Structure 1
Amino acid sequence: MSNENIFREVDEELRSDRMRALWRRFAPFVIGGAVAIVLLVAINEGWSWYSNSRSAEGSQQLYAALDAAEAGDIAGAETQLDAIAANPSGGYGTLAQFRKAALLAEQGDSAGAVAAYDALSSSQSNPRLRELALLLAGNVLVDTGTVADVEARLGTLATDDSQMRRPARELLGLAHYKAGDFAAAQQNFEAVLNDPLVQSPVRSRVSFYIAQMLSDGVIAAETPAQDAADAVDAIVQDDAAEPAVTEPVAE
């Protein structure tokens, strides 16, 4: 055997010994890491299955509660909604709380509905859900509360930088109108009309409010109040001017 072959064999043995030593040293870490990855994947898959299962269960319970309310079983619906809210899954707990508050309002329990919406506005982490709860509470209080009650919920939503400013200002206008403060009502309604992002149905509805106040003589005929009244007149005239549909005469 040549010296070159001997050196090669010795070098291979040394490499093999070093590899075995490295493996003995780091094998526990490699194996442990592999096991950890498998466990993490298994836990993630298991949690996904559990969450989906809970979400599906919450969906079925919510639909059952809605069906019960539709069938007139209000007490049963409220019991089911309370159960869903107590064990929230997939966001259905929040939906159940909103529906429970709406049921209270529909049944004439305005105080209970407002309390439920107030609780939602203080417990939700999502700012849009908090604003929605305040808006719905204000909507109930327009008919059952005072202007101060409505302003306490909607005052922060009626600012220029709020996405809820248009419905908030409309409700504030209605609250002031109901209280007989027609100047404040006009101010809120005109703020809605002057909003560049107001949609046509809302603009038409608020224009009718102003036209009604002009007709009653509780506000002066000024722009944009007069413009709103003119817009309402144009709508009415267009509706009246539509030609009647006649049936063709059979020859």
Structure 2
Amino acid sequence: MSNENIFREVDEELRSERMRNLWRRFGPFIIGAAVAVVVVVAANEGWSWWQQSRAAEASEEFYVALDLAEFGDLDAARQNLEQIAAEGYGGYPVLARFSEAGLLAEQGETEAAIEAYDALASTSDNQRLRELALVLAGMLLVDSGTVDDVEARVSSIAAEEGPMRNPAREALGLAHYQAEDYAAARENFEAVLSDPLSQDSTRTRMSFYLAQLVSMGEVAPDAVPDEVLEPEDAGAAETAE
């Protein structure tokens, strides 16, 4: 055996020995790190699966409750919604509470429905959901409360530029109409009508409200936008003059 081969074998042996020593020293840490990575990945996958499973279960329960309500079993629907509100996952507890308040209103339990909406407005972390709850409560109070009751809930929303401003103005207009304050009612209806972002269906309702005020003689035809009066209505108004 040549000296070169001997030196090569000795060098390989030394390198092998160094590798074994390094492995003995750092192997447990490498294995531990690898195990930790596997555990983290598995935990993440497990958490994602659990979240999806919970969300799917809550979704199914929520739509079962809606089906019960649609087929007229309101009591059973409310029981399901109460359970989802207490034990549901993700956004479904909030959806369940809104739906339950709506069923209360549908069953004629207006006061309980208003309390439910007020509770949602006071506990929700989402500003838009708080505004929605207040507007829905305000709408119910148009018939069952006073102008002050409605204003306490929606006046600040109506004054802002948020997405719920027009429903809030409509609630205020209807409350003033009920209180026979027709000038204030007209002001709110016209504010919605003049908003370029109002939907067509909303503009149609506002036009109907204003036309009703004109037909009652509470508002002069020239005090409302021209688009409110149909040609026959405008002619009738001119004849009346």
TM-score range, shorter chain: 0.7 to 0.9
> Structure 2: how far apart are the matches of 1:133 and 1:180?
26
> Structure 1: how far apart are the matches of 2:105 and 2:84?
19
Give 2:141's aligned residue.
Answer: 141
The one-letter code sitting in structure 2 at the alignment partner of 1:233 is E
> Structure 1: how far apart are the matches of 2:4 and 2:159?
89
Give 1:209's aligned residue.
Answer: 209
Give 1:61's aligned residue.
Answer: 61
- Conservation of the 8 A alpha-carbon contact between 1:211 and 1:228: no
> Structure 2: how far apart are the matches of 1:133 and 1:63?
21
> Structure 1: how far apart are the matches of 2:60 and 2:202?
35
The offset of 1:4, in angstroms, is 4.5
Is 1:172 paired with 2:172? yes
Give 1:227's aligned residue.
Answer: 226
The one-letter code sitting in structure 1 at the alignment partner of 2:226 is D
The offset of 1:103, in angstroms, is 0.7
> Structure 2: how far apart are the matches of 1:202 and 1:137?
19
> Structure 2: how far apart are the matches of 1:27 and 1:137?
66
When the two structures are superposed, what TM-score results if normalisation uses the length of structure 2?
0.86
Give 1:151's aligned residue.
Answer: 151
Q: Which structure 1 residue ranges, 5 or more long, are not aligned? A: 238-251
Q: Secondary structure at the match of 1:155?
A: helix
The offset of 1:129, in angstroms, is 2.0
Going by fraction, where is helix more abundant, 1 or 2? 2
The offset of 1:106, in angstroms, is 0.6
> Structure 2: how far apart are the matches of 1:2 and 1:159?
98
- For the structure 1 residues 226 and 65, does the alpha-carbon distance in structure 2 shift closer, same or farther, using more than 3 Å as the test? closer
Instruction: Please list, as runs of the form range in 1=range in 2, the aligned pairs for 1:60-79 lying within 5 A after superposition.
Output: 60-79=60-79
Give 1:243's aligned residue.
Answer: none
Q: Which structure 2 residue ranges, 5 or more long, are not aligned? A: 235-241
- Conservation of the 8 A alpha-carbon contact between 1:68 and 1:77: yes
The offset of 1:70, in angstroms, is 3.1
Give 1:109's aligned residue.
Answer: 109
Moved over 6 A (4+): none
- Conservation of the 8 A alpha-carbon contact between 1:175 and 1:185: yes
> Structure 2: how far apart are the matches of 1:228 and 1:179?
26
> Structure 1: how far apart are the matches of 2:136 and 2:222?
32
Determine what percentage of the aligned residue pairs are the same residue: 59
For the aligned residue pairs, the C-alpha RMSD in angstroms reads 2.3
The one-letter code sitting in structure 1 at the alignment partner of 2:199 is Q
The one-letter code sitting in structure 2 at the alignment partner of 1:47 is W
> Structure 2: how far apart are the matches of 1:227 and 1:161?
25
- For the structure 1 residues 196 and 71, does the alpha-carbon distance in structure 2 shift closer, same or farther, using more than 3 Å as the test? closer
| Alignment coverage as a number of residue pairs | 234
> Structure 1: how far apart are the matches of 2:215 and 2:222?
13
Instruction: Please list, as runs of the form range in 1=range in 2, the aligned pairs for 1:94-105 lying within 5 A after superposition.
Output: 94-105=94-105
When the two structures are superposed, what TM-score results if normalisation uses the length of structure 1?
0.83
Q: Secondary structure at the match of 1:94?
A: helix
> Structure 1: how far apart are the matches of 2:75 and 2:201?
36
The offset of 1:5, in angstroms, is 4.3
Give 2:38's aligned residue.
Answer: 38
Q: Secondary structure at the match of 1:158?
A: helix
- Conservation of the 8 A alpha-carbon contact between 1:134 and 1:154: yes
The offset of 1:90, in angstroms, is 3.7
- Conservation of the 8 A alpha-carbon contact between 1:88 and 1:94: no
The one-letter code sitting in structure 1 at the alignment partner of 2:36 is A
Give 1:196's aligned residue.
Answer: 196
- Conservation of the 8 A alpha-carbon contact between 1:169 and 1:189: yes
Q: Deviations over 1:19-44 (max 9, x none)?
A: 22322222222111211122122222
